[in-house]
């Protein structure tokens, strides 16, 4: 793992030489050090060859100081003539903090962004997925103009993030995008598994928006992977936030089983749902509280653990409950639990339809 200063130096060096990206320097090494004179790298090489041959470098230092001073003055004068986007708030409506504010120049207009908003835009663009769950990353776009950022913008963003808030770019997703030289096609081909892992973590994040599709996935997961001898019943009156917070770890295993075809995750999911039903036999059951005189749903449950290989859930809960043989949660005191729906046997009755010779199969319930 590279250090913070090494990563920042690599990004800054690429940012300074971004004009040379149009003509790769690989041709310089392939031709034995011969660079065409029309190549910008030729002027750079000639300049530093003269620098290394100088005995007294004092005049060179003064010339460089004057050059870069004039360059900064010219840049400040040119930026004053640019149009500034009148925006003092981030995309969430909060006031911009100068320390975490970055300015990007695009189409002769200066836009101000919060570095946190830029990181979210990068993450959302790189984790784009098609309708068939196939990773399809896209280049980040300016939310004000809907135009793609250039490589100069991306190098500026990475250099700014590594300088002021390096924790934002610890994610392997952003480092892989940097190693791919901000080439979306190359990044997508080399990091299929990484993209799916990050997309799954985005789906099961604590602050994610709970949609109808997520609730449907939870119910489908319980229907397919729960143990038939230890069923889990979910009432329709339960809140979707409670349902998501309880089954969020199981949902992560379900997505890994579905998207990554991971057999290990499938085994852990089946074991976890079986243990959940054994530890929480009353979860999702409706009861009547005599004190409040209300009908509510029992949402108590024991934690499922972290689903690691060496973590035995039965042993963990036995230690929590002090070695008691009864591992399941006891019923709530002072309430009445409504019984489950009793399965009614069905019988087949044949009835002759009037004015026809056909028979209709009818199901009648015994009461």
Average pLDDT, the chain: 75
The pLDDT of 61-80, averaged and rounded, is 81
pLDDT tens figures, 136-174: 899 999 988 889 999 989 988 988 888 887 777 777 888
The model scores a pTM over 0.85? no
Predicted local distance difference test score (pLDDT) of residue 56: 72
Return the bridge partners of 105, or none: 110
Q: Smallest Cα–Cα separation from 205: which of 194, 213, 214, 217?
A: 214
| pLDDT attached to residue 141 | 92
Decide: residue 103, CB within 10 A, 0-12 exposed, 13-18 middle, 19+ buried: middle
pLDDT tens track for 252-296 = 999 999 888 888 889 888 888 888 888 888 888 888 888 888 888
What pLDDT does residue 160 have? 87
3-class SS at 174? helix
pLDDT single digits (tens) 344-359: 444 545 455 454 444 4
Question: Where are the chain's structural domains?
Answer: 204-337
User: Sign of the CA dihedral 269, 270, 272, 276?
Assistant: positive
Sheet hosting strand 294-297, strand order edge to edge: 294-297, 286-289, 335-337
């Amino acid at each position: 793992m590279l250090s913070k200063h090494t990563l920042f130096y690599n990004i800054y060096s690429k940012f300074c030489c971004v004009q040379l990206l149009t003509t790769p320097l690989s041709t310089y090494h392939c031709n034995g050090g011969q660079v065409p004179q029309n190549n910008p790298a030729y002027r750079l090489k000639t300049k530093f060859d003269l620098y290394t041959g100088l005995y007294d470098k004092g005049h060179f230092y003064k010339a460089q100081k004057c050059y870069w001073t004039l360059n900064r003055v010219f840049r400040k004068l040119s930026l004053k003539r640019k149009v500034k986007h009148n925006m003092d708030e981030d995309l969430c409506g909060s006031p911009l903090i100068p320390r975490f504010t970055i300015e990007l120049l695009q189409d002769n207009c200066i836009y101000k962004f919060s570095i946190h908003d830029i990181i979210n835009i990068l993450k959302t663009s790189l984790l784009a997925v098609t309708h068939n769950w196939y990773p399809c990353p896209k280049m980040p776009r300016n939310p004000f103009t809907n135009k793609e950022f250039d490589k100069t913008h991306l190098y500026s963003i990475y250099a700014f993030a590594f300088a002021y808030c390096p924790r934002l770019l610890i994610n392997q997703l952003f480092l892989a995008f940097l190693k791919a030289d901000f080439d979306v096609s190359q990044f997508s081909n080399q990091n299929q598994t990484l993209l799916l892992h990050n997309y799954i973590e985005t789906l099961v994040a604590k602050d994610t928006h709970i949609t109808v599709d997520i609730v449907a996935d939870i119910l489908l997961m319980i229907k397919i992977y729960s143990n038939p001898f230890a069923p889990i019943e979910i009432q329709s009156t339960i809140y979707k936030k409670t349902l998501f917070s309880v089954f969020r770890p199981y949902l992560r295993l379900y997505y890994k089983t579905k998207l990554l075809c991971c057999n290990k995750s499938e085994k852990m999911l089946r074991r976890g749902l079986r243990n959940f039903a054994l530890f929480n036999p009353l979860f999702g059951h409706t009861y009547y509280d005599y004190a409040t005189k209300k009908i509510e749903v029992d949402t108590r449950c024991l934690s499922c653990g972290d689903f690691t290989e060496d973590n035995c859930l039965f042993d963990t809960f036995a230690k929590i409950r002090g070695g008691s043989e009864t591992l399941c949660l006891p019923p709530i005191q002072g309430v009445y639990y409504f019984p489950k729906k009793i399965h009614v046997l069905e019988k087949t009755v044949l009835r002759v339809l009037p004015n026809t010779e056909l028979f209709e199969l009818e199901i009648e319930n015994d009461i």
